[in-house]
Structure 1
C-alpha cells in the first residue's frame, strides 16, 4: 500500500499501518523537514479544525500517545510543558476538555500541562520508526491518485489535496512565526481568537522560542513579511517583556490545510481499488494525528 504525503498526518498514518504488519511506502512531494508540519509551533490543542465532536475524540487519543512519548523527550521530540491559554473558558470548549488532565480555570484563562512537540525532531523520529517497522519513504510527486500502483492508497496530501483529489474545499490558512533566542521562558502562553487573522502565542522549544502568529485565510505566500514579523514580536513582548530584546533566529511560514471538516473516509478508485482520504486538518494536524491515523488504518483494512 502507498500513503501519499509525508507530513505529520502521512508519517503517523504510515507508522500505524506498518506496525500493524502492512507493507507501507510513503510517497511525498518533499522531505518531511520541508513540509508545513515542520513549521508548526507544536503545541497540542485543537485549533481551527472541525467537526468538534470527532476532533475531540481524535485529539484525546493522540494526547494519550504524546503523554507516553514525553517520557523519552530526547528521542521523540515530545515534552510536557506547563502553560496558560489566556482568555479561554471551559464552558466554551467541547466535552473533550473535561478529559484533559489537570486542565483548570485560572484567573486569566485555562492552565494545563500539555505536550509540546519539537516538530523537526519528531518528524525525523517518526520516519525512523516507520523504517524500523519495515516501511519506506520516497520523495516522489503524485499527480493522479488513480495512477498510484497499490491495492490501497491513503491520501494524506494536506493542502495538496486541493489539486490532487481535486477538492476546492481545501484552502490555505497562512501562518507566520518568528523564532528568537529564549531569554529564559519555560512555559507556553497563548492569546488566540480562532476567528482572527492575528494571534499571540509563545512556545518554548529546545532550539529557541517560537513567537506567533497569524491565520490568514486564502493567502498562498510562503515569504515572511517583515511588518508581520515585527507585529508578532511586538504582541509577544507586550505579554512577556523580556522577548523585546531577544535575538531573532529565524522566520517561518506555513500554509495550514484548512477545510470545513476533516475528510476521513474510504472511497473506491475507478478500478475498484481502495482510496482512503485523511486530510483537511487545518491548524491541528499534530493534535489529532494518532487518532486520525488509527481511524484511517481501520478504513484501509476494515475488520471482516
Structure 2
C-alpha cells in the first residue's frame, strides 16, 4: 500500500524557465509509432523469408526496448536452430532496431542494420526518456507485456553507471501517472512503491501528490552507446530506403529479417492499425541542480544535455515540423505551476491530460 509522508517537506530547487522558442534546438518534434489494438511482436513466413515484426510501441519504445529485443532474440534463436541461418537483416535504426541487433549479435549472428535514418535522426533520439509504459496499446498481451517490462527494467537498472545514460530518479506527480501505474499493476514489486505526499515539495505547490522512484534513460547517450558497441562488434548501419515489402525481399540477401520500422510498417507491411501521434518537446538549457522528474498535465525531465519539457499529443499528424508557439506554451504551463509565469489554461494537445490515459490502458479506472 502507498505510504503517506506527513512531516514537513522542504522545497526542491525551482527550475530556470528562461526560454527562447526560436533558438536553435529549442523545440524538437517527432512522431510516435502508435499501433491501435496492440504493438506487434510476432513472426511470419513470407516469400521464403522468416520475418520477425517488432514495432508499434508508441511512446514506450525506449522503455520496452530491451524486453522486446529479448523476445525477438528468442524467436530468431528457435528459427535458426532449424534453419541454421547465420545472417540477419534488421530494418530500422531506432531503439528497437539497435537493441534487437545487439541481442542478435550476442547469438553469434552476422547482423546488418538497414535504415533510411541514422540513430540520431530517429524519433527514439527525440524521446524524453522517462522509463514508463506510456502511449502504447496492449490489448490481449498483458502477460507478454509483463515479461517485457520485467526484462527491460532489470536490464536498464543493471546498466546504471555503465555509460548507457541511465539513472534512478524520483518522479513527482500531481496525479497518478498512467505509464507507471501500468507497471505497478502488471509487475507489482518491480519498482519501489509509490509514496503519497501531503504536498508536492516545490515552490507554489500546496496540494497532495505522488512520488515514484523510476529510471531516466537519456536517449542521446543510450543510442550512441548502442551504435558504438554494435560498430565495434562488426554490425554496420547501411543507408537504405525501401518502397514496399517486395522491395525488401528482392533487395536483401538475408533469409531472416527483423522489422523494426515503426511508422514505416504502415506502408511497407500495409499495416492500417498504425497511427502517427506527433509530439513536440521544449529544450531548456541543462540545469545540473535539478535531480527530479516532474509531471502535471505535462512533464519536465532534467537530463545532462537539457531540461526537457513536453509533450504535445497530436493524433494523426505525421510530420516533424516544429511549432515554436506550442513549445513556448509547454514551458509556460510548467513554469506557471512553479509560480514562475502567469497561469494559463492547459492546451488540449498536452499528452499527460488524464482523459488520454484510458486510450492506451482501458483497464485503468475512469478518472485516472
Task: Find the partner of 1:222 among 313, 317, 320.
Answer: 320
User: Residues of 2 paired with 1:40 and 1:22: CA distance?
Assistant: 29
Q: Following TM superposition, by how much is the alpha carbon of 1:111 offset from its aligned partner in structure 2, in angstroms?
A: 2.2
Aligned to 1:131: 231
Unaligned 5+ segments in structure 1 are 192-198, 245-259, 262-304
Aligned to 1:98: 188
Task: Find the partner of 2:299 among 201, 212, 216.
Answer: 201
Q: Following TM superposition, by how much is the alpha carbon of 1:238 offset from its aligned partner in structure 2, in angstroms?
A: 2.3
Task: Write the mapping of 1:1-304 to structure 2, written as runs, cut at 5 A.
Answer: 1-51=88-138, 53=142, 54-72=144-162, 75-88=163-176, 93=182, 95-107=185-197, 108-143=208-243, 144-147=247-250, 148-183=252-287, 184-191=289-296, 199-241=297-339
RMSD between superposed Cα atoms in Å: 2.4
Q: Residues 129 and 182 (structure 1 numbering): CA distance in 2 closer, same or farther, change over 3 Å?
A: closer
Q: Residues 241 and 66 (structure 1 numbering): CA distance in 2 closer, same or farther, change over 3 Å?
A: farther
Where 1:221 maps in the other structure, the secondary structure is coil
Q: Residues 89 and 7 (structure 1 numbering): CA distance in 2 closer, same or farther, change over 3 Å?
A: closer
Unaligned 5+ segments in structure 2 are 1-87, 198-207, 343-358, 361-368
On the 8 A contact 1:4/1:142 being kept in 2, the answer is: no
Runs of 4+ in 1 over 6 A off after TM superposition: none
The answer to which structure has the higher strand fraction is 1
User: Residues of 1 paired with 2:174 and 2:151: CA distance?
Assistant: 25
Tell me the alpha carbon deviations over residues 187-236 of structure 1, each in whole angstroms, 9 at most, x when there is no partner: 00123xxxxxxx41000110110001111100123111122112101111
Where 1:30 maps in the other structure, the secondary structure is coil
Q: Following TM superposition, by how much is the alpha carbon of 1:97 offset from its aligned partner in structure 2, in angstroms?
A: 4.7
The answer to which structure has the higher helix fraction is 1
Q: Following TM superposition, by how much is the alpha carbon of 1:77 offset from its aligned partner in structure 2, in angstroms?
A: 1.5
On the 8 A contact 1:41/1:203 being kept in 2, the answer is: yes
On the 8 A contact 1:84/1:189 being kept in 2, the answer is: yes
User: Residues of 2 paired with 1:243 and 1:67: CA distance?
Assistant: 36
Q: Following TM superposition, by how much is the alpha carbon of 1:89 offset from its aligned partner in structure 2, in angstroms?
A: 6.8
Q: Following TM superposition, by how much is the alpha carbon of 1:61 offset from its aligned partner in structure 2, in angstroms?
A: 1.1
Q: Residues 243 and 187 (structure 1 numbering): CA distance in 2 closer, same or farther, change over 3 Å?
A: farther
On the 8 A contact 1:46/1:55 being kept in 2, the answer is: no
On the 8 A contact 2:131/2:216 being kept in 1, the answer is: yes
Where 2:215 maps in the other structure, the secondary structure is strand
User: Residues of 1 paired with 2:160 and 2:262: CA distance?
Assistant: 26
Q: Residues 159 and 139 (structure 1 numbering): CA distance in 2 closer, same or farther, change over 3 Å?
A: same
Choose 1 or 2 for highest CA Rg.
Answer: 2
